[in-house]
Amino acid sequence: MAAVLDLIGATLISAFITFMLISVNNNLSVTATQQYMNTNTQQNMVALTEMMQFDFKNIGYRVTDSIKIQKADTSYFSFKLDYDNNGTVDSIIYYLGNTSELTMTENPNDKPLYRKVNNTTALPGNWGITRMRFKYYDSLGVETTFRSKIRSFKVLIEAMSPSKYDGRWSYSNWEKLYKPRNLR
């Protein structure tokens, strides 16, 4: 009888240990997948902001007329610069599309970011952006809507992963104040 009880006890203990190992393995798998999605969302944000950084720091570069910013509102920004340093003034436009334009992702809130250089066709970029806002400031740091008075501007971008895992989205936020020297 004691041997049977020992056998049942050993079986229960080994079943409990096996269950614990399966649970730990499952938790590690979920954590690794969530970390991968977080990293992917962050990498997308870094790539996007590096592209924007190049464009925004050079606003007005080699532009001889006084109109360096063509249009500036909260979600649309158009400006002039010599983008490729060839002596010809180029224009770049940034704006967000609508959520209905990104049907290939599971995320119902992401919108395509359009970047148009000169007269090329603006192609949508899927960066997972859910919100992008511009704020413009004059030389005293007061918010302004007059293009000719803009000396600096702030960009706010919020992004989410294209799909959720375990019922959760990965988020990334980025905000930066730009003071291009060619706008002074």
Q: Is residue 14 part of a domain?
A: yes
Decide if 1 is inside a domain.
Answer: no
- Contact between residue 139 and residue 151 where contact means Cβ atoms under 8 Å apart: yes
Q: What is the pLDDT along the chain (184 residues), one digit of tens a residue?
A: 788 888 898 899 999 999 999 999 999 998 898 999 999 999 999 999 999 999 999 999 999 998 999 999 999 999 999 999 999 999 999 999 999 998 899 999 999 999 999 999 998 999 999 999 999 999 999 999 999 999 999 999 999 999 998 889 999 999 999 999 999 8
Please state the pTM of the whole predicted model: 0.85
Domain total for the chain?
A: 1
Q: By residue range, what is the domain housing residue 27?
A: 9-183
Q: How far apart are CA 86 and CA 140, in angstroms?
A: 33
* Inside any domain, residue 39: yes
> And the tokens for 87?
């002596």
DSSP type of residue 70? E
Could you tell me if residue 126 is inside a domain? yes
Integer Cα distance of 79 and 90 in angstroms: 8
The answer to whether residue 81 sits within a structural domain is yes
Determine, yes or no, domain membership for 80. yes
CA gyration radius for the chain? 26
CA pair distance 117, 115, nearest whole angstrom: 7
Domain assignment of residue 172, yes or no: yes
User: Within a domain: residue 157?
Assistant: yes
